[in-house]
Structure 1
Amino acid sequence: MKIAFLLHNAYGIGGTIRTTMNLAAALADRHDVEIVSMMRHRETPRFALDPRVRLIPLVDTRPEGGDTENPLFHQASRDFPAAEKRFHQYNRLIDTRVAEYLRGCAADVIIGTRPGVNVYLSRFAPRRALRIAQEHLRYEAHSKKLRAQLAPHYRALDAVVTTTEADAAVYRARMPMPGVRTLAIPNSVPEPAVAPSEGTAPVIAAAGRLVPGKRFDLLIDAFAEVAAEYPDWRLRIYGGGAERERLAERIERLGLSGSAKLMGSRSPIEAEFAKASLVAVASDAESFGMTIVEAMRCGVPVVSTDCPLGPGEIIRDGVTGRLVPTGDKRALASALMDLIADAPGRRAMGAAALESSRAYDPAPIARRYDQLFAELEANRFARSWERGRATVRRRLGRLARRFGVSPVRRAPAASGKASA
């Protein structure tokens, strides 16, 4: 079977890029796999790509690449949804190249990995292929306008895959898609190439984009309480982003310059997590929680806010980590200090986290995708029939509303019992 992934930019750093490459490598054990990058801004990807997986960039944004001289490069996209936050990075040249690729694509399965790219998938991919949209962001993270733009395109696909059961339930309730399989399959995280943490270093690690939603400000405030009780412990925050200067000023203002540091981006991050005894996540929301699994794969327990949607599905509170209320600085500090004070319990929790993290091995996740492909192929006709019936009902409903006629409702089936 030939499988193609559509990725925004395979040459950057991010959870979607890493998990796509992980899944592509696992599927390459049994299939012919390629990743199609909408754009390319550097010579080689930042993440190591399995040599069995082909990488196809569509538009080269480097000055020496030549595509920036194409007049279409400077025209706004007409096919990428305008409400998608990456819209400003798209143009008519990408529209044209992706349409050409998809119309001539020989893949049996084509998987999109972000909302706007999934619209390309719906518009241009051949109907003979299984067309699957992955959602790496929460439903609620999309604006109302974007959800309205996505709905008609998603209803034309074969499946929508979220990273959590909670988000799949939201899609089923809020964006009904007859004939479209809506389900959750978590991201995969391979076993790291480093030894697990010994759980003895006085280090708390955290990682992610330095943006408001990750709430590193809350973590720094909580660590100020930790440092007052345990001055030998250190906080290391890995990542880059717009909040770096503000966070640095906060560290300085709280007198934490000697114990809390912004370390910049690291890839792979597991080598840094393995040097820590705890990992902290203070986010207001997480669509999945890649850093949580990455830390657990290093045998490090995670103290995380119990934010929507991912942490509560990954962490068993009190067993593989701790969950605390979102936005609660004192609860976060207290949970960290509880584990700092209990070294044997901390190490036992790390061992449990390591064992639990094996559920995210790429091989079983790839098998779940193989099962999905087989199921979608087997019930293709039934799903098409279901979609067609739903389309007819919607059209009849619109006609009825237009002419002020109450829609005819089917009488309930007889129960087979006589009334008393």
Structure 2
Amino acid sequence: MKSTDHTQHPPHTPGTPGTPGTPHTTHSPDADPTAVPAPATAAAPATAPRLKIALLLHNAYAIGGTIRTTLNLAAALAGRHDVEIVSMLRHREVPRFAVDPRVRLVPLVDIRVGSDDMADPLFSEPALDFPAAEKRHHQYSRLVDVRAARYLRASDADVLIGTRPGINVYLASFGPRRALRIAQEHLRHDAHSEQLRAELARHYRTLDAVVTTTEADAAVYRARMPLPGVRVLAVPNVVPAPAGPPSDGTAKVIAAAGRLARGKRFDLLIEAFSAVTVKHPDWRLRIHGGGAERTRLQGLIDGLGLAGRAELTGPRSPIEAEFAKASLVVSASDAESFGMTIVEAMRCGVPVVSTDCPLGPAEIIRHGTDGLLVPRGDGRALAGGLIDLIEDPVRRRRMARAALEGSGRYDPEPIAERYRLLFRELRTTRHRRAGQRALGQTRARVRTLLRRWKQRHLAVPRYDSGAASTPR
């Protein structure tokens, strides 16, 4: 897309908190102190360079899985590198999640009512550089375009990491080529529209790497979005161990968490729980989260006579404190790009019964060892899995122990080390990958020219049906 950075706004330099581009280090007194723990890290090897790393987020002040895992990764990397988080938007004074004190927080556009940014004429103009096919486009303005472009063009970071498709387009369009530019994909390839995938392919070809959260999604990108010279790989999300003790597995509570959206299929879970209560009326269901489906789900609970047994509690943070009060956690989603709540439950020593949906759960849960996988959309199978574990507490507790032990693979340090190795690889292979990219571009041009030549010279002649027939 064409950018016209024509405004006369002053450059974003450190100053008064609240100024766009100003590092924000104020922390909320009610923020979750365990959301982003400061890990104790070993001293960096003498040969390892201390890099400046910037992670670009949609809104670091909100609540969401991508925000949590980005803050966690930033904290894990901050032990050996200079790390800052750049928030495209800022809608409140302090972040919902605690930000590690070693990490700088830089907001670009203040959307709080009465802010100077809201009075800027560009705030009322739709974004041009942020892809129109991206589902967050309506939240972006020309002012965000301009501020993001200015930040990236002036950045002295060694590594720039985007965390959603539209921001990755900013990164490809305006990020300096001397920096390593990495696109994280927290959504599945197939969750993007065809129009957005086509636009992403054009921009992702100029980046250094695309990182998905699952091996399955990385394989889809390699197969359906050829990116010569771009490293495509999977690195799971960082999920630190919670501060509190794990579940003791005695509470007759089933928990679930997430946005109350149709794709999360909390309706299927409520219906499955209704079947559970027939055999085990003393068990309770607690669904943590907010969203547009709350009224419909409450109506379903009331209609099934589950009032007092099933509860919509609203958002809870930290969610681990709620999972530790449960003996089972459920994910009934139709699709999960990763499955943060599954790992968070396992970190609390709680086995998860999940639908075997694309793509995350099957890479997290070892079926029959630390949890159960059931067919997607099958309420009877979901209820059956819950009843099996309710009626076999010995097996349930064995799974709980396995879940707690296995969840250590999502510790901050191992994930941070995978990123450090990626940075090293990308720096040492830069010239080779540039050659691969150039060769891929040449082959693409040759294919295009060949296709056009065939269309022009090998097309089947068309005859006018109204022409005079040949004499006999």
Q: TM-score, normalised by structure 2?
A: 0.85
* Shift in Å, 1:395: 1.6
Cα deviation for residue 136 of structure 1 reads 0.2
Return 267-276 or 61-70, whichever deviates more: 61-70
Letter of the 1:184 partner, please give it: A
Corresponding residue to 2:441 among 375, 387, 391: 391
2:120 partner letter:
N
> Deviation of residue 65 (structure 1)?
2.0
Deviation at 1:405, TM superposition (A): 8.8
User: What is the one-letter code of the residue matched to 1:124?
Assistant: F
Letter in 1 for 2:342: I
In 2, distance between residues paired with 1:215 and 1:164?
A: 21
Q: Match of 2:353?
A: 303
Distance 1:403 1:259 in 2: 69
The answer for the alignment partner of 1:106 in structure 2 is 156
Offset at 1:64?
2.9
Q: Does 1:269 align with 2:346?
A: no
The reply to whether residue 154 of structure 1 matches residue 181 of structure 2 is: no
1:343 maps to what in 2? 393
2:90 alignment partner in structure 1: 40
In structure 2, the partner of 1:13 is: 63
- The offset of 1:63, in angstroms, is 1.4
Structure with larger Rg: 2
Instruction: Report deviation, 1:348.
Output: 1.1
**Alpha-carbon separation, structure 2, partners of 1:43 and 1:64:** 13
Distance in 2 between residues matched to 1:33 and 1:17, nearest whole Å: 15
Tell me how far 1:403 sits from its aligned partner: 3.2
- 1:229 and 1:253 mapped to 2: Cα distance? 19
Provide the rounded CA distance (Å) in 2 between the counterparts of 1:164 and 1:10: 23
Cα offset for 1:396? 2.2
User: What letter corresponds to residue 192 of structure 1 in structure 2?
Assistant: P
The one of 409, 412, 416 aligned to 1:366: 416
Deviation larger for 61-70 or 21-30: 61-70
Question: What CA distance in whole angstroms lies between the structure 2 residues aligned with 1:402 and 1:66?
Answer: 52
Q: Match of 2:259, as an amino acid?
A: R
2:310 is equivalent to residue 260 of structure 1: yes
- Tell me what 2:139 maps to: 89
Alignment of 1:170-319 (within 5 A): 170-319=220-369
Cα distance in 2 for partners of 1:403, 1:251 equals 63
- How many residues of Structure 1 are paired with residues of Structure 2 in the alignment? 406
Shift of 1:356: 0.4
Report the counterpart of residue 464 of structure 2 in structure 1.
none
Shift, 1:135, TM fit: 0.2
Post-superposition shift, 1:332?
0.3
Q: What runs of 5+ residues in structure 1 fail to find an aligned partner?
A: 407-420
Q: Give, in whole Å, the separation in 1 of the partners of 2:432 and 2:280.
A: 62
Aligned partner (choices 50, 53, 66) of residue 103 of structure 2:
53
Deviations 1:35-58 (A, max 9, x none): 000000000110111010000000
1:145 aligns with 2:179: no
Looking at structure 2, the residues matched to 397 and 202 of structure 1 have their Cα atoms a distance apart, in angstroms, of: 62
User: Which residue of the partner structure matches residue 62 of structure 1?
Assistant: 112
Q: Which AA in structure 2 matches 1:18?
A: R
What's the secondary structure of 1:240's corresponding residue?
coil
Q: Specify the alignment match of 2:428 in structure 1.
A: 378
SS at match of 2:114: helix
Counterpart amino acid of residue 241 in structure 2: E
Tell me by how many angstroms 1:209 deviates.
0.2
Gaps of 5+ in 2: 1-50, 457-472
Which residue matches 1:126? 176
Q: For 2:193 and 2:169, how far apart are their aligned partners in 1?
A: 16
Q: Deviations over 1:179-233 (max 9, x none)?
A: 0000000001001011000001000000000000000000000000001110100
C-alpha displacement of 1:258: 1.4
SS of 1:404's equivalent? Answer: helix
The separation in 2 between residues aligned to 1:298 and 1:188, in whole angstroms, is: 15
Amino acid at match of 1:81: P
The match for 1:415 is none
Q: In structure 2, what is the Cα distance between the partners aligned to 1:405 and 1:269?
A: 59
Identity rate, percent: 70
Deviations 1:219-262 (A, max 9, x none): 00000000111010000000000000000000000000010000
Greater share of helix residues, 1 or 2? 1
Q: Partner amino acid for 1:111? A: I
Take 2:249 and 2:451, find their aligned partners in 1: how far apart are those partners?
A: 65
Amino acid at match of 2:453: F
Report Cα offsets for 1:296-318 as digits up to 9, x if no partner. Answer: 00000000000000000000001
SS in structure 2 at match of 1:55: strand
Return the letter of the residue paired with 2:181.
Answer: R
Q: Deviations over 1:399-419 (max 9, x none)?
A: 23333399xxxxxxxxxxxxx
CA distance, structure 2, for counterparts of residue 370 and residue 5 of structure 1: 14
SS in 2 for 1:279: strand
Give the secondary-structure state (helix, strand or coil) at the position aligned to 1:47. coil
